Amino acid sequence: MPLRTALLTVGTFSALAATSLVAGNRTPPAPLVAKPVLPAAEARLEAREQVDDAVAAAVIGSISRQFDAGDVMVQLDRVAILPASIQDRQVSGDGRLQIGGDGEWIPFRFDATFDTESAEVTYPQLTLGGAEAQSVAKGSTLAASLDRQVETALRSEFQSQPVRWTSGDVQAAPLGRFVRVQGQGIADFGSDGATPAQVQGLYDSVAKRWIRVHYELGPTATDAVATL
């Protein structure tokens, strides 16, 4: 089911409720007005649009929370919704995001699950696009900074066991003031064995800080699901 294009900014899709009080008494409620009965086709369309809006808001909110930035604008260009179970819907598509209120729009693809009962979206897998990437020299400032971020995230998630991160190939692509970084490496858990991993990050070259670092463990990892 295609979804209408949606454009929201973090914090703009909250619902507000207010009760008016006059001299300690409730303001008399407005007289009830009969709502016109819509034809069946129009009613179905209105209901579907309400669902579309709820999904869009949930997806946008979930994506926005992946970035350590206060001003993230997300535009959904294409969204497909398919039934995954009685309660869940599989949501996928692509869009663009802008960070900091200016600069380039960064294209992305995403996959997520929408819970129709709670109206929440599980942590979406997010793949950033953009310019063609080039190899990052091992031991460079950017590569070393990424290694520290990944190792910190691993140790935070696996506090009860030793873990050591060894990076492999890392590539970076400029996106205006930001740099999209993606690569691979090995997470070594000592006696519990080692596993390959994929990592993806977004670095702010002006503020000199990471605003997104995600990794996924496993030999068939395609995008990051853990974060720092």
The full set of domains in the chain, from first to last, is: 6-14+41-128 (3.10.450), 134-227 (3.10.450.10)
CB-CB contact of 161 with 194 (8 Å):
no
How many Å apart are CA 134 and CA 71, to the nearest integer? 28
pLDDT-above-70 percentage for the chain: 73
- Closest residue by Cα to residue 125 from 211, 53, 227, 194: 227
How much is the pLDDT for 203? 93
Check whether 76 has a pLDDT greater than 50: yes
Instruction: Compute the average pLDDT of residues 68-81.
Output: 86
Compare 103 and 18 and report the one with higher pLDDT: 103
pLDDT band of residue 49 (cuts 50, 70, 90) is: low
Kindly give, in sequence order, each residue whose CB lies less than 8 Å from that of residue 167, ignoring residues fewer than 6 positions away: 138, 143, 146, 147, 150, 183, 184, 185, 199
Q: Give the pairing of strands 178-188 and 164-175.
A: antiparallel
DSSP assignment, residue 20?
-
The model's pTM is 0.68
Q: What is the mean pLDDT of the chain?
A: 77
Tokens representing 152 are 């910190």
Give the end-to-end CA distance of the chain in Å, rounded to a whole number: 34
* Three-state SS at 187: strand
103 confidence band (pLDDT: 50, 70, 90): confident
Q: Which two tokens stand for residue 1?
A: 């089911």
